[in-house]
Amino acid sequence: MNTNLADLEFYKRWLPQNKDAHIRELCCGTGRLTLQIAKDGYDISGIDNTSSMIEQAKVKASESRLEVEFIEADIRTLDLQ
């Protein structure tokens, strides 16, 4: 499992200044980046097509006491409204 966060700063450069903006991380896996961004106070959801990855992300969020929505879905057919 990839736990390296060396690329986190790259992604943080592209985050909106408004922390209330809703962010969706596509192909979030186990929430490696999603949870770090949530810890910074952003409203973020993670989306992945693999149920085992989503379950791991939910466990990690719970252990970190973070309320993050994780959605099991295929991003090719996801309706973002």
Threshold 0.85, pTM exceeds? yes
The beta-carbon contacts of 72-80 under 8 Å, at least 24 apart in sequence, are: 72/47, 72/48, 73/47, 73/48, 73/49, 74/49, 75/26, 75/27, 75/47, 75/49, 78/47, 80/24
Domains of the chain by residue range: 20-72
| pLDDT class of 1 with cuts at 50, 70, 90 | low
- pLDDT of amino acid 25: 96
Per-residue pLDDT tens over the stretch 17-47: 999 899 999 999 999 999 999 999 999 999 9
